[in-house]
Structure 1
Amino acid sequence: MRHLLHVLIALCILSSANSALADDVVYAPGSRIGLVPLIGLTPAKTFPGFETADQRVKVIVAELPVTAFRDVENVAKSNVADPRGQKPQGLETASGQGYFIVEAAKNGDDNVRRYSMVISGGTFSGYVAAQVPENVGKIYSDEAVRKMFATVALRKDVPVEEQLGLLPFKLSELSSFKLIRTLAPGAVILLSDAEAENDIDSKAFMIISPIGSVPERPDDRDRFARDIAATIPNLREGRITMSESMRINGSPGFETRIDGTNTRTNTPVTVVQWLVFGSGKTAMRLIGSTPRDGWSEAFSRFRAVRDGIRPR
């Protein structure tokens, strides 16, 4: 009986030690980064990550360029001392080697502990950061947060339905694009013919996002459309070949076409930008880009995606 009692006590202790973590990996909505959250942390509604009910403990996840992991790894492996006294420490995770830092900091008048980690996702770098007020450090201790970070897992893709479900608009037509990726979960989505992210610029692709601060007066929209077209990334020697107002799905809109050169592939491209104006100072911005020799086919697909957008 005494032996059985000792076994039961040991099992209770083990159960208590593990209960700070939930059972399964939970991926932040729309993200390829997930972890086993500590008890009390649930998916956040306003940012990619997790938070407590009182929003005082936060865990944020983000996808960074692939070079971010290499840069941190080089610092961790170098013999150069960090003037701040901080140096990334290796941490083995569910998805391989990560580099982890713990810092004491201030959030307003509150003392907090800040944790961050970078891990390689192959074509991207996974970033996880947490902030914990000092007065809850007994629950969310350094060791507990470290164990949580060790559970970080990366998935190759986010299910298309999950990505589309987070958008503030309905996207009913994908026009056979192969790669679907949210650039900002719940806000910006990329559709591409590329099979890998490092090949996007050489294929037809679209970027769709809501924008604010647009002019309400119709007379100002031509200038606005031209000005914002000049901000399209990875485009040089751009020349506007057409810019005119039109009705798009029953709403006032503007179409602008540009011939230019893609800065990454150094090849001629044709780009179309549609602005669909909504209520107030908001609009939907759609950018479609394709190698110039594939314009005719790509344009009809771009237009099909545009015409399939509906409000939620």
Structure 2
Amino acid sequence: MKLSLAIVWLLLFALCGFAQTSGVAPPQQQSPPKLVRVEGTKVSLVPPPGFVPSKQFTGYELAATGASIIVLELSGPIAQVTAGFNDPAQLSRKAMQLLGRETVTLNGAPATLFHLAQTANGTEYLKWMLALGDANATVLVAANFPRQLEQQYSRVLRDSLLSTRWDQSRKVVVDEGVPFSVEAQGGLKLAQQRLLNTLLYTVDGIVPAQSVEQPLFVAGMSISQQLILNPKEFSERRVFATESVVSIGVVDAQPVMIDGLSGYEIVTQGKDRATGQPVTLYQVTLFDETIYYVMQGLIGGRRATDYLGTFRAMARSFKRRATPVQEPPVKRPQRVKRH
């Protein structure tokens, strides 16, 4: 759950990194609105006019405006996932402010719609965030747009969020639409839960790992495009941004080349934030023009030698996909011809 909550806050901040153009009029609806399943999730919604599926996260975007919708599915009780959004002090630490909240009903089930403001990189953004779920699982659907485009996009994005439908019984290919692959090795298995375009690997394929003594490997990509001017410095700073690890030691980034992409590999030590136990942190960052990929391995310090080689092997198995994995076509029963 710690990892999941860290990703929630990270995505809400990263959403503010998209390009934007002021004075852009929202595209007009060209055809009757219809529910569309968000690739890689059990969630469907009616995308706003002009919004297209993102190649970098599970959701939709209109890149010219900086407006986007991100869908995030989490294992864990909704009360725990959303607790921070009712805490002004915690929001303030993330440069966010709660403007309002309301209870809504979606497909007969209660949900909460949060209205938030956030300042990032000198620009003020507004957000609608829909939270629905139960004691076992949570869905967050977050819409983000620059405040200067509030009149054009606030209502249309809010309406899109309120069209959300969540089919918990649906079977989804976990890496559907993810534009890269990593080979599970050393007894690790791909978890049947992902966070945006981040894949998770644990011993039993269950997230979260039960203790810091159990290995965790994650592989993901940036959710917004940005030009990294100093990749080595960025890689070292990225290590210190790891939410679950504190007291991180010496960081010495070494150059690597994987799948034709240059990047940096780092091995360092720290302490698990929750337990204070020593952990080894392994990280590889790879850079592809305005997109970067991050892979991290975490393991309790006493078992580092058991899994460091596995983490290295998995990172070096990274490959970009020319064609992302798609959901298998639905097999329909054939009609029997009667004579």
TM-score (norm 2): 0.54
* 1:254 to partner: Cα distance: 3.3
Give the partner amino acid of 1:183.
Answer: L
The unaligned stretches of length 5 or more in structure 2 are: 1-30, 88-98, 116-126, 322-339
* Separation of aligned partners in 2, 1:51 and 1:214: 25
* Separation of aligned partners in 1, 2:299 and 2:85: 35
Is the Cα contact below 8 Å between 2:213 and 2:300 reproduced in 1?
A: yes
The residue number in structure 2 matching 1:107 is none
Is the Cα contact below 8 Å between 1:35 and 1:149 reproduced in 2?
A: no
Tell me which stretches of 4 or more aligned residues in structure 1 moved more than 6 Å.
38-42, 71-74, 130-136
After superposition, the C-alpha distances for 1:23-61 in whole angstroms (9 at most, x for unaligned) are xx64312334x2353897886346644589xx99x8834
After superposition, the C-alpha distances for 1:172-221 in whole angstroms (9 at most, x for unaligned) are 41223242544333xx43333462337475631123344651537xxxx4
1:213 aligned onto 2:213: no
> What pairs with 1:183-202 in structure 2 (closer than 5 Å)?
183-185=195-197, 188-193=198-203, 195-197=206-208, 199=210
Q: CA RMSD in A?
A: 5.0
Deviates more, 1:283-292 or 1:91-100: 91-100
Q: 1:161 aligns with which of 175, 178, 189?
A: 175
Q: Percent identity?
A: 13
Select the structure that is richer in helix.
1
- 2:189 alignment partner, SS class: coil
The unaligned stretches of length 5 or more in structure 1 are: 1-18, 75-85, 103-113
Give the partner amino acid of 2:218.
Answer: I
> What pairs with 1:103-252 in structure 2 (closer than 5 Å)?
117-121=130-134, 122-127=136-141, 145=159, 149=162, 152-155=165-168, 158-162=172-176, 165-167=177-179, 170-175=180-185, 176-179=188-191, 181-185=193-197, 188-193=198-203, 195-197=206-208, 199=210, 203-210=214-221, 212-215=227-230, 221=232, 225-240=235-250, 243-248=253-258, 252=262
Rate the CA distance shift 1:250–1:291 in 2: closer, same or farther, 3 A. Answer: same
Is the Cα contact below 8 Å between 1:94 and 1:150 reproduced in 2?
A: no
* 1:235 to partner: Cα distance: 1.4
Rate the CA distance shift 1:28–1:297 in 2: closer, same or farther, 3 A. Answer: same
TM-score (norm 1): 0.58
* Separation of aligned partners in 1, 2:221 and 2:139: 26
Is the Cα contact below 8 Å between 1:214 and 1:283 reproduced in 2?
A: no
- 2:175 alignment partner, SS class: helix
Rate the CA distance shift 1:200–1:49 in 2: closer, same or farther, 3 A. Answer: farther
Select the structure that is richer in strand.
1
Is the Cα contact below 8 Å between 2:190 and 2:200 reproduced in 1?
A: no
Bigger radius of gyration, 1 or 2? 1
Rate the CA distance shift 1:95–1:45 in 2: closer, same or farther, 3 A. Answer: farther
The residue number in structure 1 matching 2:300 is 291
* 1:263 to partner: Cα distance: 0.5
> What pairs with 1:35-54 in structure 2 (closer than 5 Å)?
35=44, 37=46, 44-45=53-54, 48-49=58-59
Paired residues in the alignment total: 255
* 1:128 to partner: Cα distance: 5.5
- 2:247 alignment partner, SS class: strand
* Separation of aligned partners in 2, 1:20 and 1:290: 51
* 1:290 to partner: Cα distance: 0.8
Rate the CA distance shift 1:197–1:240 in 2: closer, same or farther, 3 A. Answer: same
Higher relative contact order (CA 8 A, sep 6+): 2
Q: 1:309 aligns with which of 312, 318, 322?
A: 318
* Separation of aligned partners in 2, 1:36 and 1:72: 23
* Separation of aligned partners in 1, 2:194 and 2:58: 12
Is the Cα contact below 8 Å between 1:21 and 1:36 reproduced in 2?
A: no
